[in-house]
Amino acid sequence: MLAASTVSAQTDPPASENTLSDEERDEQGRQLFLAGATAYEGGRYEVALANFQAALELTGRGPLWYNVALAHDRLRHDSEALAAYRTYLQEVPDNPHRAQVEARIDALARAESERAEQAAALERERQAAAEREAREAELERELAAARTEVREEKKSRWWIGVVVGAVVAVAVGVGLAVALSGGGDSYEQSDFGGVTFTLGGGR
């Protein structure tokens, strides 16, 4: 419920605050409040909030905090509404809306606490996920390094095999050459112009 009756009116921009008398300040504040009340009743809560805040800044009247809080509440500006309701109780401790305002403060405070807990839980989950991703990335780097090391080791063994094979081949070739050039079998020309095979190099 608003702090005053609503009328269908939109005020002109107020004059400079420094040039206003107290009566003029109050009158312009009242017009701003009425414009805000009209907007509020029409569901135009942003317009209502702007007018209520302007009236509050112009007059400094504590009861206007209630209207500012209501507009914030309708716009789901929970933190701002909570602060405005609390300021209203401080500025106007003896007010007709105290029980209603205190109940609304409790509800908003609980909702704000729940949101804070949910945000903290989400942040913990985000950090845990980031840590898991970091561990998985580190494990993947270690596995990649291990695979590279295995490949390099296989390459090294392949070259060793080639060198050993070459040495064995050379040794076999040298042994064969020595055997053929020694006192083994020989070939000589026969009387018929052919080649005869003899044992032990004898005739």
Instruction: Give the bridge partners for 36, in sequence order.
Output: none
Residue 20: pLDDT band (50, 70, 90) is confident
Distance separating alpha carbons of residues 53 and 69, to the nearest angstrom: 10
pTM metric for this prediction:
0.55
Please check the confidence at residue 198 and state whether its pLDDT lies above 60: no
Q: Is 40 exposed, middle or buried (0-12, 13-18, 19+ CB in 10 A)?
A: buried
Count CA atoms within 13 Å of residue 158 on its CB side. Answer: 6
Instruction: Read off the amino acid at residue 58.
Output: L
Per-residue pLDDT tens over the stretch 40-77: 999 999 999 999 999 999 999 999 999 999 999 999 99
Instruction: Determine contact, residues 187/196, Cβ cutoff 8 Å.
Output: yes
Question: May I ask the CATH class of domain 17-111?
Answer: mainly alpha
The listed range with the strongest mean pLDDT (7-11, 81-85, 168-172, 190-194) is 81-85
Instruction: Give the 3-state secondary structure of residue 149.
Output: helix
**Residue 117 binned pLDDT confidence (cut-offs 50, 70, 90):** confident
What pLDDT does 119 receive? 83
